[in-house]
A and B are shown apart, each in its own frame.
Chain A
Amino acid sequence: AQSVTQLDSQVPVFEEAPVELRCNYSSSVSVYLFWYVQYPNQGLQLLLKYLSGSTLVKGINGFEAEFNKSQTSFHLRKPSVHISDTAEYFCAVSDWFPGNTGKLIFGQGTTLQVKP
């Protein structure tokens, strides 16, 4: 069964600094990978997703993530963060093969705290 591990529960960073939020997954088959963001008091919205093709995926708000099959990772990065990036970030995985529903499984979340 697939699972997702987000290695950091909280990541404090100063404004304009780079940031990396780590995500590792386990799955026995090909996977699709997602990052969602949840701003304070709001619902979840999709940041980016990896389906196939280029391993570097670009998303909204200047975020990008790199799929690394050998390391089973999908880390999220941004070269320069803003105060407005303060939010909870969730990594998620879905795998599909005949007989599997392909439901989305989420990690525990990482709180990004951007300080001035």
Chain B
Amino acid sequence: GAGVSQSPSNKVTEKGKDVELRCDPISGHTALYWYRQSLGQGLEFLIYFQGNSAPDKSGLPSDRFSAERTGGSVSTLTIQRTQQEDSAVYLCASSLGSPGRGNTIYFGEGSWLTVV
């Protein structure tokens, strides 16, 4: 597609429920990222996929958070047993290669998660 696509754009869920957030990266981009944006917290790195390499999961805040990337394209971020502090905008991004090689990363519009 033309840009990074995320769904749903808005999700309200009850505390304790599981949620799945989906990301379609730009076609041909091998690198995919998830970030979390909370009020006053800036952009928090969650997880990074690069090609067939093992993902960098160093930013996942707890074992309730997991992500997978199927076929090197679409990614799903899953939050189990959601808590109110999980409320945030979850941003997906992709790039042609690693930003460490200077590649620009492009962001989706985000999925706004509210846990009530």
Q: Could you list some 29 contacts between A and B, CB below 8 A?
A: A32-B99, A32-B100, A34-B104, A36-B107, A42-B109, A43-B91, A43-B107, A43-B108, A43-B109, A43-B110, A44-B93, A45-B107, A46-B104, A90-B42, A94-B98, A94-B99, A94-B100, A95-B100, A100-B100, A101-B53, A101-B56, A101-B100, A102-B98, A103-B48, A103-B100, A104-B105, A105-B45, A106-B43, A108-B40
Task: Report yes or no: B45 in contact with A103, Cβ–Cβ below 8 A.
Answer: yes
A79 to B104, CA, bound (A): 25
Q: Which residues of A contact B (CB under 8 A)?
A: 32, 34, 36, 42-46, 49, 51, 90, 92, 94-96, 100-109
Of B33, B56, B101, B102, which is in contact with the most chain A CB atoms at under 10 Å from its CB?
A: B102
A36 to B42, CA, bound (A): 12
Closest 3 CB pairs of A and B: A102-B100, A96-B100, A108-B42
A34 to B107, CA, bound (A): 14
